[in-house]
Structure 1
Amino acid sequence: MNIAKILDPQAIKVVGKMTSKKRLFQDLGEIAASAYGLSENGTVDALQARESLGPTGVGHGIALPHARIEGLERVVGAFMRLESPMDFDAVDRQPVDLVFALFAPAESGVDHLKALALVSRTMRDNDICAKLRANNDPATLHAILTEGPAIKAA
């Protein structure tokens, strides 16, 4: 599995300022709807439901919101770079500026976990994060993310 199979080039957005987590999830829902044909409202609801279980801000300015979506056939992702970091209730209490959302089929078991592990490992790479923070072009951001590490299927 690699990020190129998860992240469509159309699912990347750079945003100047985000006012709230709810607004962020709405933007992610819009991206998921346009890039993958998902229900915008269903996606937002699923992200909010998962976030209510515990914040997905993993620290170091990174958030990995994720949700299971009925009717989805494969794991897909959306990436947003925020030019102005926002409060996300992250574990280290630092504001977030890199957001990689994952959407998985409702019954996706191990594929969802593998994708989450892959994205988590990629986003823990300080060099990748520095490159992401230094670029505003969605095509460049996609190239940076898809050059990251891959994991072998079990």
Structure 2
Amino acid sequence: MKFVDLLKPEAVKVVSAVTSKKRLMHDVSDLAESAYGLSAQVTVEALMERETLGPTGVGHGVALPHARVAGLTDVVGAFILLERPIDFEAVDRQPVDLVFSLFAPEEAGVEHLKALALVSRTLRQETLCAKLRANPDPQTLFTILTESEAVKAA
């Protein structure tokens, strides 16, 4: 599994005016709807339900909200760079500005976990996160995310 398999260029966005975790979940869901045709209402409910199990803010300004969604056939992702970090109840209590959401089919077991592991591993790289934060252009962000694997493989 590769980033390019999870993410479409149109599923990458820079957002400037988010003030809460709930508003962010709506923005992520709207992005998933426009990029993949998922129901924004269904995805926001699934993301919020998952958050009740425990916050998905993994630390160092990164959040990985994820949910299973009926009707999906593949695991897909959406990435948002926040111009102003928000409180996300992250494990390290630091505000979040890099948000990678994953949506998986209801029956996806191993594929969902592999995708989460890939995103988590990638967004743990400080240099990659610094590049993402320094480039507020969606196409550039997509390129940074999808080319990070090519560099590692070379």
- TM-score, reference length from structure 1: 0.96
The answer as to 2:154 corresponding to 1:148 is: no
CA contact (8 A) 1:74 1:105 kept: yes
Question: How many pairs are equivalent?
Answer: 150
Q: Percent identity?
A: 67
Amino acid at match of 2:123: M
Superposed CA deviations along residues 17-47 of structure 1, whole A, max 9, x for unmatched, are 3111111010111111110000110000000
Partner residue in 1 for 2:101: 101
Return 5+ residue gaps in structure 2 as ranges.
none
CA distance, structure 2, for counterparts of residue 20 and residue 52 of structure 1: 15
Superposed CA deviations along residues 129-151 of structure 1, whole A, max 9, x for unmatched, are 0000000110000000001238x
- TM-score, reference length from structure 2: 0.96
Partner residue in 2 for 1:20: 20
Q: Name segments (4+ residues, structure 1) moved above 3 Å.
A: none
Partner residue in 2 for 1:45: 45
Local SS of the residue matching 2:16: strand
Matched ranges for 1:67-146 at <5 A: 67-146=67-146
CA distance, structure 1, for counterparts of residue 97 and residue 40 of structure 2: 22
Superposed CA deviations along residues 71-96 of structure 1, whole A, max 9, x for unmatched, are 10000000000010000000000000
The RMSD of aligned alpha carbons is 0.9
